[in-house]
């Protein structure tokens, strides 16, 4: 299975299963350049065999649309893949040992960067002290983000690179940094990344995404996240070589006094002033903004934007023809976003606001009224099912932060879909790993039974839903005329899985015309990608055994 990687030709794929609404029983597909040209049966494929540039014999493999990960931090993902990743640290001593080893192995790095610690999983249930980190690094600058990326522990030398940080909100003399103090230190750490180190990290992340059947990424950049240089370098790298499409957002608020934001969004090549424009923080760091206090803290988190600022931003973006969007996790933050968007709709007209498809990232704490408001305002919910798989359940982080009953209300995907809220699935990598089939599994086997959706619905949200979230309705699906973004998989038996057994049983009847997908029951092996194609160009090819 080889192809000229620079000039897409005409290709016939045959002898497998093609997942397509154009023909639920399709076994073959023709791609002409960067476009799907035909979907059909094995017998009809004979008519194309002599006129194409290449015939790919699938040998029973499954062909699906390539995945779209709707929320990624590409450079941070690459740094986690190639650098100091503490997500597997067993306890505090193990984490400190990994820091010591990494520092010794990278004597030339001006700033040491790491990610993934979660003290709630360690027997000690505490973060490393500044003195412990100073000793582990030999006094060098170190920046270590928590798993949710909304707080960080640092060394004294790292703080010394940010004059005045002690006076910023969120500074703590010993514990993790949050809010403005964290953002200032993060900018300093990002600025210290050498161009070659950044490029290597970005390349590693894009290559890894391609190997997982991911054809496009929504890069969530911004001045408090990674900086303009990081975004422009990523977009330049994506344009220079075959790989996943990178669709970017720039999280800067267009509010009074912030001149030139929307011009900057356009100049950077972003689709909107959206993504991680923080209305609040994260539950793990106690910075998600809640109506009622945390179960394990005597406060309600942090609000970063008012409803008035949100209304101003949404109005400015709508009038400019750009998408607006916000990071909102806590129920109070969700309330503020809804109030702001509704105020903009009252001024500009609800149809105009709905047509813009403004986004809300994460959208975890939605009650029925909030779900109805999302549907009414046409808000796209960019969600991460792996959050529930990682932190849900009666003994997970959600329950510790909120109490069991409140935790059970989080991530209500079934109710959102039933109400007509558009879903786009992603990972928020490196918060949770790039893992598209695992993400679909997490949505279909949500820890709370009533929030589960069918595998087919979750798969659609992770493919076509990601394209609809960037206002493209012609992609993310294999039909004639669609972009030739697809993946080839080795998978087991194809089945139809839905929370309601009556639906699943009917869907398996051939009369229903419902195409099957791999069995994602927990414990079953996930499909393995053997080829990823974007715009007709092969961006990944793995062993076909």
3-state secondary structure of 423: strand
Q: What is the pLDDT along the chain (545 residues), one digit of tens a residue?
A: 333 346 789 999 999 999 999 999 999 999 999 999 999 999 899 999 999 999 999 999 999 999 999 999 999 999 889 888 898 899 999 999 999 999 999 998 888 998 888 888 899 989 999 999 999 999 999 999 888 888 899 999 999 999 999 999 989 888 899 988 988 998 888 888 888 889 999 999 999 999 999 999 999 999 988 889 999 999 999 999 999 999 999 999 999 888 899 999 999 999 999 999 999 999 999 999 999 999 999 999 999 999 999 999 999 999 999 999 999 999 999 999 999 999 999 999 999 999 999 999 999 999 999 999 999 999 999 999 999 999 999 999 999 999 999 999 999 999 999 999 999 999 999 999 999 999 999 999 999 999 999 999 999 999 999 999 999 999 999 999 999 999 999 999 999 998 876 555 545 555 556 889 999 999 999 999 999 999 999 999 998 76
- Indicate the pTM of the whole model: 0.91
Q: How many CB atoms lie within 10 A of CB 471?
A: 13
- The pLDDT value recorded for residue 257 is 86
Token digits of residue 426: 């992603």
Please count the residues of the chain. 545
- The pLDDT value recorded for residue 537 is 96
3-state secondary structure of 224: coil
- The pLDDT value recorded for residue 173 is 85
CA distance 128 to 174: 9
CA distance 476 to 463: 5
CA distance 92 to 87: 12
Judge residue 1's burial from the number of C-beta atoms within 10 Å of its C-beta, 0-12 exposed, 13-18 middle, 19 or more buried.
Answer: middle
Query: What Cα–Cα distance (Å) separates residue 488 from each residue in 67, 210, 544?
Result: 11, 12, 10
Residue spans of beta strands (DSSP E) within 95-237: 112-117, 142-146, 152-154, 214-221
- The pLDDT value recorded for residue 3 is 36
Going along the chain from its start, the domains and CATH numbers come out as 10-66+477-491+527-541 (2.30.40.10), 71-191 (3.10.310.70)
- The pLDDT value recorded for residue 499 is 87
CA distance 426 to 438: 11
């Amino acid at each position: 299975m080889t192809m000229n990687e620079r000039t897409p030709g005409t290709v016939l794929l045959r002898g497998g299963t093609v997942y397509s609404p154009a023909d639920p029983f399709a076994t073959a597909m023709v791609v002409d350049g960067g476009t799907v040209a035909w979907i059909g049966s094995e017998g009809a494929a004979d008519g194309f065999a002599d006129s194409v540039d290449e015939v790919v014999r699938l040998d029973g493999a499954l062909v699906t649309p390539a995945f779209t990960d709707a929320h990624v931090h590409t450079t941070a993902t690459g740094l986690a893949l190639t650098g100091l990743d503490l997500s597997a640290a067993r306890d505090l001593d193990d984490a400190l040992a990994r820091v010591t080893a990494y520092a010794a192995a990278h004597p030339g790095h001006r700033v040491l960067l790491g990610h993934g610690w979660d003290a709630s999983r360690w027997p000690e249930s505490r973060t490393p002290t500044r003195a412990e980190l100073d000793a582990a690094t030999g006094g060098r600058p170190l920046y270590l983000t928590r798993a949710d990326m909304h707080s960080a522990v640092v060394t004294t030398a790292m703080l010394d690179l940010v004059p005045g940080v002690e006076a910023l909100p969120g500074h703590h003399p010993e514990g993790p940094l949050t809010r403005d103090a964290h953002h200032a230190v993060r900018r300093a750490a990002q600025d210290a990344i050498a161009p070659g180190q950044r490029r290597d990290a970005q390349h590693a992340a894009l290559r890894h995404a391609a190997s997982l059947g991911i054809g496009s990424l929504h890069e969530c950049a911004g001045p408090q996240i990674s900086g303009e240089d990081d975004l422009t370098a990523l977009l330049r790298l994506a344009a220079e070589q075959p790989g996943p499409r990178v669709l970017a957002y720039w999280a800067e608020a267009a509010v009074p006094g912030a001149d030139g934001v929307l011009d900057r969004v356009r100049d950077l090549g972003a689709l909107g002033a959206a993504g991680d424009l923080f209305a609040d923080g994260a539950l793990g760091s106690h910075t998600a903004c809640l109506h009622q206090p945390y179960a394990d803290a005597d406060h309600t988190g942090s609000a970063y934007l008012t409803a008035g600022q949100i209304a101003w931003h949404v109005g400015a973006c709508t009038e400019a023809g750009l998408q607006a969007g916000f990071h909102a996790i806590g129920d109070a933050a969700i309330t503020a976003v809804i109030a702001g968007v509704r105020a903009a709709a009252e001024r500009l007209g609800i149809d105009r606001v709905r047509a813009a498809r403004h986004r809300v990232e994460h959208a975890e704490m939605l009650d029925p009224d909030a779900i109805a408001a999302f549907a009414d305002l046409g808000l796209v919910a960019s969600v991460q099912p792996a959050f529930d798989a990682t932190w849900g359940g009666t003994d997970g982080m959600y329950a510790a932060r909120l109490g069991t009953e409140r935790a059970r209300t989080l991530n209500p995907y079934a109710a959102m879909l039933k109400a007509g809220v558009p879903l786009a699935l992603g990972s928020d990598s490196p918060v949770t790993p790039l893992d598209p089939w695992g993400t679909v599994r997490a949505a279909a086997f949500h820890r709370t039974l009533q929030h589960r959706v069918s595998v087919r619905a979750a798969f659609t949200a992770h493919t076509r839903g990601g394209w609809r979230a960037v206002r493209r309705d012609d992609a993310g699906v294999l039909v004639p005329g669609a972009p030739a973004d697809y993946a080839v998989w080795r998978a087991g038996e194809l089945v139809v899985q839905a929370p309601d057994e009556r639906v699943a049983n009917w869907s398996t009847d051939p009369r229903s015309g419902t195409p099957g997908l791999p069995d994602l029951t927990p414990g079953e092996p996930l499909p393995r990608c053997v080829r990823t194609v974007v715009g007709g160009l092969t961006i990944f090819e793995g062993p076909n055994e």
